């Protein structure tokens, strides 16, 4: 049995049993080009160097679109129209030049990296408030949006059709699709949490418990689709975890602040590491044991920036976490341990390309 094969086996064993190991301490650094509040960040699934961010200028002040081509290190403004008030930006899984923007008039689509936009009207009502978007890892790269109901597109977002059979009226919907099961998607809303195992054709209600409701965020584990993380609006906005595909849930709060969590982010290819954020000034927390325990990771933030609007993780052997904050976009690099680095450098197999993006 040669040395490379032994290393490969040990590497796979680490991924399965303990997740990827990271060393520290590291710290957050403010990236260049955005000096006001960053509201939303989206990473291109096609090219992990490219990201977009909507940037606020104040209440009812135009929100501009910014772009980074170097993994968030530097940003440049794309849109110039002073009338724009963009809310969210979502990158297409088909091309780094295709993206979607939302404002009070509905969903807009761009095919040239955000320089021009066209309002999507086929299947979506003008004025629809789009709160989230995701896609399945299938051959069609099926897109889903939430707009007080669920809609899907199989042609890159040009045309949309209802995809909400089995659902009631939903508000504040959040979506999460499995990266390894191309038919599995979850949706949260005011009246419960829903799951589809047939690409959104049919949905089943997983929970409508009186003490868990108004689910505000959900994420599927990138390695095990039976593990799901979510934050219900009830119960002080604590993080909950399911290990049976959303059937039952348990509170996971060891090391977390007393209340009010906003977002969850996972690391592609790593089934153990995830992050959560607080909008109330408590910053970012990391778990390396699938959410069982947590610790604060706020080194480098200024006194006012631990208010986090959104987190994005750029995959790679040293993943980069980007945080949208009131002072701009912060960056944090997770450095792998020396053992893990040796495994990355020594493992010369086709499967390495599934994880290596830098």
| Residue 354 included in any domain | no
- SS3 string, 61-117, reads CCEEEEEECCCCCECEECCCCCCCECCCEEECCCCCCCEEEEECCEEEEECCCCCCC
Domain that residue 117 falls in: 31-334
| Residue 17 included in any domain | no
For residue 154, what pLDDT is reported? 94
Question: How long is the chain?
Answer: 358
| Residue 231 included in any domain | yes
Note whether 187 and 177 are within 8 A (CB).
Answer: no
How far apart are the C-alpha atoms of 187 and 176, rounded to whole Å? Answer: 7
Question: Which residues, listed in sequence order, are joined to residue 231 by a DSSP beta bridge?
Answer: 217
Q: What is the pLDDT of residues 173-189, one digit of tens each?
A: 889 999 999 999 999 87
Q: What is the pLDDT of residues 104-146, one digit of tens each?
A: 888 999 999 999 989 998 998 877 888 899 999 988 899 999 8
Please compute, for residue 276, the number of CA atoms within 13 A of its CA located in the half-sphere on the CB side. 32
| Residue 347 included in any domain | no
Q: Over 90: is that where the pLDDT of 171 sits?
A: no
Q: What is the pLDDT of residues 320-352, one digit of tens each?
A: 999 999 889 999 998 864 334 434 444 333 333
Query: Nearest Cα to 67, choosing from 37, 89, 92?
Result: 89
How far apart are the C-alpha atoms of 254 and 277, rounded to whole Å? Answer: 14
Q: What is the pLDDT of residues 226-238, one digit of tens each?
A: 999 988 776 557 8
| Residue 155 included in any domain | yes
| Residue 22 included in any domain | no
Q: What does pTM read for this prediction? A: 0.84
How far apart are the C-alpha atoms of 169 and 189, rounded to whole Å? Answer: 9
Q: What are the counts of helices (DSSP H) followed by strands (DSSP E) for the chain? A: 2, 30
SS3 at position 236: helix
For residue 341, what pLDDT is reported? 41
Find the CATH number of the domain harbouring 275: 2.130.10.10
| Residue 355 included in any domain | no
Q: What is the pLDDT of residues 11-60, one digit of tens each?
A: 444 444 445 555 544 799 999 999 888 989 999 999 999 999 998 865 55
For residue 105, what pLDDT is reported? 86
Q: How many domains does the chain have?
A: 1
Is the sign of the CA dihedral 322, 344, 12, 94 positive or negative?
positive
Cis ω for the linkage preceding 25 (within 30 of 0): yes
| Residue 356 included in any domain | no
b/e burial code for range 87-100 (CB count within 10 A of at least 16 → b)? bbbbbbbeebbbbb
Q: Which token pair is 254?
A: 């060891």
How far apart are the C-alpha atoms of 183 and 308, rounded to whole Å? Answer: 31
Q: What is the pLDDT of residues 237-289, one digit of tens each?
A: 788 999 999 988 898 989 988 767 888 999 999 999 999 987 777 889 999 99
Neighbours of 210 (CB within 10 A): 6
């Amino acid at each position: 049995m040669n040395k490379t094969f032994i290393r490969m086996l040990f590497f796979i064993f680490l991924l399965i049993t303990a997740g990827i190991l990271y060393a520290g301490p590291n710290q957050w650094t403010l990236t260049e080009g955005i000096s006001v509040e960053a509201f939303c960040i989206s990473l291109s699934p096609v090219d992990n160097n490219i990201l977009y961010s909507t940037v606020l200028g104040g209440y009812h002040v135009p929100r501009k679109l910014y772009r980074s081509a170097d993994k968030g290190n530097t940003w440049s403004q794309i849109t110039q129209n002073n009338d724009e008030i963009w809310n969210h930006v979502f990158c297409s899984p088909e091309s780094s030049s295709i993206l979607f923007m939302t404002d009070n008039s509905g969903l807009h689509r761009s095919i040239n990296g955000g320089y021009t936009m066209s309002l999507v009207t086929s299947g979506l009502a003008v004025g629809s408030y789009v709160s989230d978007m995701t896609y399945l890892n299938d051959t069609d790269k099926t897109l889903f949006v939430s707009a007080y109901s669920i809609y899907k597109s199989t042609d890159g977002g040009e045309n949309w059709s209802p995809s909400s059979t089995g659902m009631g009226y939903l508000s504040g919907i959040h979506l999460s699709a499995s990266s390894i099961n191309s038919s599995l998607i979850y949706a949260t809303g005011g009246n419960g949490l829903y799951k589809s195992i047939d690409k959104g054709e049919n949905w089943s209600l997983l929970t409508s418990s009186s003490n868990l409701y108004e689910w505000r965020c959900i994420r599927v584990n990138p390695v095990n689709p039976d593990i799901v993380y979510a934050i219900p609006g009830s119960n002080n906005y604590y993080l909950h975890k399911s290990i049976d595909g959303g059937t039952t849930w348990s509170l996971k709060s060891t090391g977390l602040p007393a209340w009010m969590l906003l977002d969850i982010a996972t690391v592609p290819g790593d089934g153990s590491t995830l992050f959560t954020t607080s909008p109330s000034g408590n910053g970012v927390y990391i778990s390396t044991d699938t959410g069982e325990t947590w610790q604060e990771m706020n080194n480098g933030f200024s006194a006012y920036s631990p208010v986090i609007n959104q987190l994005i993780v750029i995959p790679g052997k040293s993943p980069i976490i980007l945080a949208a904050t009131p002072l701009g976009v912060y960056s944090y690099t997770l450095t792998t341990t020396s053992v893990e680095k040796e495994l990355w450098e020594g493992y010369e197999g086709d499967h390495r390309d599934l994880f290596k993006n830098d």
